[in-house]
């Protein structure tokens, strides 16, 4: 299918979808073609391109206008939660940990075609105590709910550095309130359930009874009434699940709870088994939100943990789900899962998948059962796949033509607006060489976006005139504080150079090439082949590309090596350290 331009934002970002695996060449030349004036200790980025090139999408083109790829949000979009207002609008949010702004919010009218419409946590007042936290700290598992009684949307979540809180709005396309703390709710992963009778409840993962865990991973699910009219928790807190579905088997990490009322019954759905390959989703049912909740005998309702790791195109770690009933009456589930490449590792983090929900004869929801695999191609009858899709192979082009960053871009632990500018030199992203490095738990001069494909190509043009050995700027692949690759321009005793450094607890220089002493314009490129990266550069605006370092181990940036809850990001970065 011919590639289509999906949208052109005010910041001149262009997204191009590759339905049949075809990739549009961005052909960016940047700016007016004339070199800008370069300030002291700053780097100017002229443009940025990203082109997905995953083999699966090329080898498995979509057939028919009702089909779509899942993950619907590829790359690191973990812990998805979904709600509807009952009027045909669906909203979806995911975790952001210590990135800023926090909690992207997506909107859809049909569950297939999604568009990001903002961030729930868009102000520093909503994201406190981020400095000092590991990149996988911060905001865990946001849960979005709609209260039909006051026509208000709520998002409740955990800030690891500040406890549980919620924000609310009547306009999910606009601003959300400042945090309303709920110190009575301990643990993590709270979510709000609004009952038909006007009452509401918060369920969450919490400590073992009396804080006496019988084993590592022993957790409980608790419930407490929420007085939404007065913005406070009321009444007692009660344990409604202890340990998990089969307590005698010592299940671990019952978490991510969501409560629903369906056909007069209360359903409690939870993740179980931890977020790695043993992840799963389980379901309980009761006649009351206070329990007792009985586990379904055919649990789990979603998992891939028992399947052969050697199966083709494996989807692993499936769990942490949320349910929604569409306006047409059918039910769907969003959940997180991973796509390890060649059954080895993944750099993309936990992604957001969408699958239909079936119902058992005894009235329980089913996402997968038995040896069913999570498929990467789905169909929703009656829904036409539009041009503004978020899945498959696509290309992104950014010219930095607006006064604010597009929604794809993030910083770490704070807005970093004192470190970057889009107005200082119009048409360029200006990054100051920051005093904080990407290894520190602070706010570096770093602007990044998610890595969303195993196979991709990304490129930027940078104008930079380093005056000392401390000043470095370039393209950074960032997993966490101690797992990074930095392709940087710097000054040394021997002259100007481009260097590739493997950043870790002990940094390791992988390659260094000299460049002319008066060179100030640098095109930097990374080509990912899945298991390895190639790093290239040009000093003549892309006429001739030179290899800096080929076949660099991509596994170094994987969760298998680094751990943590995020995926890898691609950053434009400048530092004095």
Query: What is the per-residue pLDDT for 343?
Result: 84
Query: Based on the domain organization, do 533 and 447 belong to the same domain?
Result: yes
* Mean of per-residue pLDDT scores for the chain: 93
CA dihedral (217, 220, 221, 227) positive or negative: negative
Mean pLDDT, residues 287-311: 96
Pair of tokens at residue 267 = 């359903």
Pair of tokens at residue 564 = 């943590």
Query: Based on the domain organization, do 139 and 268 belong to the same domain?
Result: yes
Q: 98: phi > 0 → left, psi -120 to 50 → alpha, else beta; which?
A: alpha
Query: Based on the domain organization, do 231 and 103 belong to the same domain?
Result: yes
Q: Which of 263, 281, 312 is the last residue of a domain?
A: 312
The DSSP bridge partners found for residue 200 are 194
Secondary structure, 3-state, 230-275:
CCEEEEEEEEEEECCCCHHHCCCCCEEEEEEEECCEEEEEEEECCC
Give 22's pLDDT tier (boundaries 50, 70, 90): very low
Say yes or no to pLDDT of 6 above 80. no
Query: Based on the domain organization, do 174 and 254 belong to the same domain?
Result: yes
Query: Based on the domain organization, do 9 and 105 belong to the same domain?
Result: no
Query: Based on the domain organization, do 145 and 221 belong to the same domain?
Result: yes
Which residues neighbour 497 within 8 Å (Cβ) at sequence distance 6 or greater?
489, 490, 491, 512, 513, 514, 515
Query: Based on the domain organization, do 281 and 430 belong to the same domain?
Result: no
- Rounded CA gap, 139 and 467, in Å? 38
Mean pLDDT, residues 102-118: 98
Pair of tokens at residue 363 = 């009235």
State yes or no: is 255 an active-site residue: yes
- Rounded CA gap, 171 and 175, in Å? 7
Percent of the chain whose predicted confidence (pLDDT) is above 90 = 91
For residue 96, give its domain range: 80-312
Query: Cβ–Cβ contacts within 10 Å for residue 14, how many?
Result: 19
- 3-class state of residue 554 by DSSP: helix
* 216 part of a folded domain: yes
* 63 part of a folded domain: no
Q: Which of 261, 290, 312 is the last residue of a domain?
A: 312
Burial of 10 (0-12, 13-18, 19+ CB in 10 A): exposed
Check residues 24 and 293 and name the one with the higher pLDDT. Answer: 293
Say yes or no to pLDDT of 512 above 80. yes
User: Which CATH number covers residue 458?
Assistant: 2.60.120.200
Which of 46, 79, 351, 481 is flagged as catalytic?
79
**Half-sphere exposure at residue 520, Cβ-oriented, CA atoms within 13 angstroms:** 17
Say yes or no to pLDDT of 4 above 70. no
Give 33's pLDDT tier (boundaries 50, 70, 90): low
Query: Based on the domain organization, do 124 and 171 belong to the same domain?
Result: yes
* 94 part of a folded domain: yes
Beta strands in 122-264 (DSSP E): 139-147, 152-159, 163-169, 180-181, 188-194, 200-206, 220-227, 232-242, 255-262
Query: What is the per-residue pLDDT for 26?
Result: 31
**355 neighbors 316 (Cβ within 8 angstroms):** no
CA dihedral 439, 443, 445, 448 (to 10 degrees): 80
Query: Based on the domain organization, do 10 and 138 belong to the same domain?
Result: no
State yes or no: is 330 an active-site residue: no
Percent of the chain whose predicted confidence (pLDDT) is above 70 = 94
Say yes or no to pLDDT of 15 above 60. no
- Report if pTM > 0.85: yes
* 10 part of a folded domain: yes
pLDDT of 491-507, one tens digit each? Answer: 988 899 999 999 999 99
Q: Structurally, how many domains does the chain consist of? A: 2
pLDDT of 218-264, one tens digit each? Answer: 999 999 999 999 999 999 999 999 999 999 999 999 999 999 999 99
Mean pLDDT, residues 95-120: 98
User: Which CATH number covers residue 228?
Assistant: 2.115.10.20
* 467 part of a folded domain: yes
Q: Which of 262, 277, 312 is the last residue of a domain?
A: 312
* 384 part of a folded domain: no
Check residues 387 and 267 and name the one with the higher pLDDT. Answer: 267
Query: Based on the domain organization, do 415 and 559 belong to the same domain?
Result: yes
Query: What is the per-residue pLDDT for 387?
Result: 85
pLDDT of 342-367, one tens digit each? Answer: 888 999 999 999 999 999 999 999 99
What are the b/e assignments for 186-205, b being 16+ CB within 10 Å?
Answer: bbbbbbbbbeeeeebbbbbb
Query: Based on the domain organization, do 306 and 435 belong to the same domain?
Result: no
pLDDT of 382-417, one tens digit each? Answer: 999 998 899 999 999 999 999 999 999 999 999 999
- 3-class state of residue 477 by DSSP: strand
Which of 46, 206, 255, 399 is flagged as catalytic?
255
- Rounded CA gap, 129 and 132, in Å? 7
* 325 part of a folded domain: no
Query: What is the per-residue pLDDT for 445?
Result: 98
**217 neighbors 274 (Cβ within 8 angstroms):** yes
**278 neighbors 305 (Cβ within 8 angstroms):** yes
Say yes or no to pLDDT of 32 above 90. no
What are the C-alpha distances in Å from 385 to residues 87, 105, 354, 453?
20, 20, 14, 21
Strand order in the sheet with 472-480: 445-450, 569-575, 472-480, 483-492, 495-503, 508-514
Query: What is the per-residue pLDDT for 34?
Result: 77
- Rounded CA gap, 107 and 92, in Å? 7
Query: Based on the domain organization, do 49 and 86 belong to the same domain?
Result: no
Say yes or no to pLDDT of 170 above 80. yes
Mean pLDDT, residues 189-207: 98
* 29 part of a folded domain: no
Pair of tokens at residue 504 = 């870790």
Phi, psi of 557 (to 5 degrees): -100, 10
């Amino acid at each position: 299918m011919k590639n289509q331009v999906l949208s052109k934002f005010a910041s001149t970002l262009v997204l191009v979808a590759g339905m049949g695996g075809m990739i549009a060449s961005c052909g960016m030349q940047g700016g007016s073609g004339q070199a800008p004036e370069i300030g002291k200790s700053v780097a100017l980025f002229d443009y940025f391109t990203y082109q997905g090139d995953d083999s699966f999408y090329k080898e498995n083109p979509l057939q028919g206008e009702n089909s779509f790829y899942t993950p619907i949000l590829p790359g690191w979009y973990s812990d998805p939660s979904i709600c509807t207002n009952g009027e045909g609008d669906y909203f979806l949010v995911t975790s952001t940990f210590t990135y800023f702004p926090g909690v992207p919010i997506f909107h859809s009218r049909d569950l297939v075609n999604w568009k990001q419409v903002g961030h729930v946590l868009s102000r520093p007042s909503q994201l406190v105590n981020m400095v000092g936290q590991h990149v996988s700290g911060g905001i865990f598992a946001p849960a979005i709910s709609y209260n039909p009684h006051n026509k208000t949307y709520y998002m409740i979540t955990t800030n690891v550095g500040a406890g549980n809180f919620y924000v609310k709005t009547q306009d999910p396309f606009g601003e959300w309130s400042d945090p309303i703390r709920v110190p009575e709710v301990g643990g993590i992963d709270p979510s709000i359930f609004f009952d038909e009778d006007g009452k509401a409840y918060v369920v969450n993962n919490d400590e073992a009874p009396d804080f006496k865990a019988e084993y590592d991973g022993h957790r409980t699910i608790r419930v407490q009434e929420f007085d939404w009219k007065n913005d406070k928790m009321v009444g007692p807190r009660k344990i409604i699940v202890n340990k998990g579905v089969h307590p005698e088997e010592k299940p671990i990490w019952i978490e991510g709870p969501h409560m629903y009322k369906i056909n007069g019954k209360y359903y409690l759905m939870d993740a179980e088994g931890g977020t790695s390959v043993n992840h799963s989703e389980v379901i309980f049912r009761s006649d009351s939100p206070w329990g007792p909740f009985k586990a379904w005998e055919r649990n789990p309702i979603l998992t891939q943990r028992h399947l052969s790791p050697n199966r083709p195109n494996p989807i692993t770690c499936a769990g942490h789900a949320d349910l929604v009933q569409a306006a047409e009456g059918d039910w769907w589930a969003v959940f997180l899962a991973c796509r390890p490449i060649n059954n080895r590792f993944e750099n993309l983090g936990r992604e957001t998948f969408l699958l239909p929900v079936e119902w058992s004869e005894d009235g329980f929801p089913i996402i997968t059962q038995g040896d069913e695999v999570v498929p990467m191609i789905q169909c929703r009858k009656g829904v036409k796949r539009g041009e503004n899709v978020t899945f498959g192979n696509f290309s992104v082009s950014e010219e930095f033509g607006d006064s604010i960053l597009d929604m794809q871009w993030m910083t770490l632990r704070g807005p970093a607006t004192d470190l970057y500018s889009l107005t200082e030199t119009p048409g360029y992203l200006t990054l100051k060489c920051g005093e904080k490095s990407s290894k520190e738990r602070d706010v570096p001069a770093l602007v990044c976006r998610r890595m969303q494909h195993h196979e991709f190509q990304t490129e930027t043009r940078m104008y930079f005139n380093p005056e000392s050995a401390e000043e470095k700027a370039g393209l950074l692949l960032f997993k966490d504080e101690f797992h990074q690759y930095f392709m940087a321009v710097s000054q040394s005793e021997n002259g100007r150079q481009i260097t590739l450094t493997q950043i870790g607890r002990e940094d390791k220089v992988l390659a260094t090439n000299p460049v002319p002493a008066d060179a100030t314009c640098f095109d930097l490129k990374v080509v990912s082949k899945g298991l390895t990266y190639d790093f290239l550069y040009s000093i003549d605006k892309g006429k001739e590309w030179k290899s800096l370092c080929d076949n660099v181990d991509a596994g170094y940036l994987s969760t298998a090596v680094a751990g943590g809850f995020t995926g890898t990001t691609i950053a434009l970065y400048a530092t004095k350290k």
